[in-house]
Amino acid sequence: MKILVVNCGSSSLKCQLIEIEQEVCLAKASIEEIGNNAKYSFEKKDSNKVKKELKIINHEIALNKIIDDLIQNNVINSINDVDAIGHRIVHGGEFFKNSVIINDTVILGIQNCCDLAPLHNPAHLIGINACKKIFDKKMVAVFDTAFHQTMPKKAFIYPVPYEYYEKYHLRKYGFHGTSHEYVSKKAAELIGKDITKLKMITCHLGNGASLSAIQNGKCVNTTMGFTPLAGIMMGTRSGDIDPSIIPFLMKKENLTISEIENILNTKSGLLGLSKVSSDCREIKREAWENNNKQALFALEKFSYRIKEYLGAFISIMNGIDVLVFTAGLGENFSEIREMICENTSFFGIEIDKEKNVLHGKERIISTDSSKVKIVVIPTNEELMIARETKKTIQKTND
């Protein structure tokens, strides 16, 4: 069964064709800056990536270009070889607690969540409509927020007048759900334990970053909130701050609310504190090679914020069995992992410094005596979407 995984942005389209029975990615493609001179890349399994600039004015043309390349590169013989399409949808609100077959009702539900994800959900609808014009296949919506729908009410309700929840569904939703779910399952497999008997904290640390507390295989809390701005500091996002900072800066700097939102989303976090970059590789070079104390401080603050949430989540679950690191920083930045795990032996977390610097795929980096298993799991959100697509279609057929 071949599943096309589609991740559509406002001016971008990313696709992977996955043979789900063997869980193999047959090809992947991405198109950025649709509408201008688009940046296109295509990579077939076991082949070199091809990059070029093309004139692509909309998402339907972008999708047709990807399909043409799949055929020309003998990945598929025709469009009929694609058995189903899985769409990544950022926000499902309270409407969607699981992946669902896309129909008119589902499309309306995604539309109704556009206020909650104005940069993402409208773009996903563009991708769905483009696929509807090209394919006559079942399509599945897989929501970033769905995995976190198991949080108890005391975890997701904000302490503001309850009427705002009743009127506007103002609450914590959480994001990166497909990643947190995927790595939690892989971590349980790696250590040979039943996930339904584990207390786990998963750390998705990329330019966007979040932690999830997962107990018995279910999410009980997460750091991102009503929007992806909440939680730990990130590449350019502030994470949690005192809300009174917003009106204070508006008055002092004569800023509009839109300008404040832009500062908190695009000029804060590692970028704002380091004064160097949002890219940890550049910050690392400045911190350790050029002895830039401001850059080092940014990394220390990043680790500190994560550690604060570790303590909170361990308290919520009354313990921890597994600590998982994933995504760009979590998988590749050994120094960050070490800084996060420093002085956590009280919780039974002991990192093995020699194992920590080794590279590889799924791996255990805790000491043999550590009560908590520390693992590094490369995330694979596309595979998780493909799995969900297959499972959802099978449920419908049963």
Catalytic residues: 144
Beta-carbon contacts of residue 1 (< 8 Å; ≥ 6 apart): 19, 20, 21, 83, 84, 390
Please report, to the nearest 10 degrees, the dihedral formed by the alpha carbons of residues 373, 378, 381, 382 taken in order.
-140
Pairing of strands 373-376, 322-326: parallel
178 within 8 A of 5, measured Cβ to Cβ: no
d(CA 379, CA 89) in angstroms, rounded, equals: 17
SS3 state of residue 300: helix
- Going by C-alpha positions, the residue among 54, 175, 63 that lies closest to residue 127 is 63
* DSSP code per residue over 214-283: EETTEEEEES--SSTTSSS--SS---S--TTHHHHHHHHHT--HHHHHHHHHHS-HHHHHHSS-S-HHHH
State how far the Cα of 51 lies from the Cα of 41, in Å rounded to an integer: 4
Determine which helix (DSSP H) or strand (DSSP E) holds 158, and give its type and residue range: none
3-state DSSP call for residue 78?
A: coil
* Residues making up the chain, counted from first to last: 398
